[in-house]
Amino acid sequence: MFRYRIQFSKLGPAGYLSHLDLVRTFERAMRRAGLPLAFSQGFNPHPRFNFAAPLPVGVCGEREYLDLELEEELPPDELARRLAACLPEGLSVAQARPVPPQSPALMAVVQRAVYRVCLTLREEAADEQLAEYLRCLLNLPAVTVIRRSREGVEKSRDIRPGIFSLAGRVQGRRAELEMELQIGGGGNVRPEEVIAALVEQCGLPASPAAAAVTRTGLFPVT
């Protein structure tokens, strides 16, 4: 088996693909590209590839990753070119590179994600005022959110330890935030939860529902 790590972006209309749709789209593109795919065993074999971390519907990604296993070795540039040529609008491949077979799975190594959040404030503000809202949140001893399981059971969780950094700038009523949040096996912190806390607990004059979110990076990815 030959394993490759592919960096791709999911932008524009592709941002509204669900994770399942994204999986199906990549599988069709891989087959169309004629890649020598490695398949799983069992009654319903499927190509062996996996993503670093699923993106919610409506969230774009600038530097996303997936690992793909092939039965035959291909030059990374050729792999990237062939796959990119078969992807629809909004999905593009930046690069592909070989990964040692013994390397940990992507989902096991990704621990942090950086997001860019754009939102419109209800009133004009200056950078200093926005910084005050962000400091308010970072100074809170806890930020409790309610999560609902698939079974419908509600459970509270403190996401404050998973908010690593917040920064931002504003021009008139247009604010742009950058946040580094926990992701992966240790637990996920969602950008919309951070925005909701800024609004509800710190008074940020904005609507969480109107925020445009882009994931700009995943770390560490080696």
**Residue 185 and residue 135 share a domain:** yes
**Residue 210 and residue 115 share a domain:** yes
Domain boundary residue, one of 108, 143, 177: 108
Contacts of 104 (CB under 8 A, 6+ apart): none
Question: Mean pLDDT of residues grouped by 10 in the chain (222 residues)?
Answer: 96 95 97 96 90 94 97 97 98 96 88 97 94 98 90 90 97 96 90 96 91 95 74
Token pair recorded at residue 46: 């499927």
Q: How far apart are CA 24 and CA 161, in angstroms?
A: 35
Q: What is the structure's pLDDT at 69?
A: 96
Q: What is the structure's pLDDT at 44?
A: 87
Q: Give the amino acid at 89.
A: E
- Residue 93's Cβ-count burial label (10 Å; 0-12, 13-18, 19+) is buried
Distance of CA 41 to the CA centre of its chain: 29
Q: What is the structure's pLDDT at 149?
A: 79
With H, G, I as helix, E, B as strand and everything else as coil, classify residue 209. Answer: helix
Q: How far apart are CA 201 and CA 213, in angstroms?
A: 21
- Structural domain total, the chain: 2
Residue 94 sits in which domain range? 2-108
Cβ atoms of 177 and 188 within 8 Å: the answer is: no
Q: How far apart are CA 103 and CA 10, in angstroms?
A: 25
CATH number at residue 175: 3.30.70.3190
**Residue 214 and residue 115 share a domain:** yes
**Residue 89 and residue 141 share a domain:** no
**Residue 164 and residue 148 share a domain:** yes
**Residue 117 and residue 100 share a domain:** no
**Residue 210 and residue 193 share a domain:** yes
**pTM value?**
0.94
Q: What is the structure's pLDDT at 151?
A: 79
**Residue 54 and residue 28 share a domain:** yes
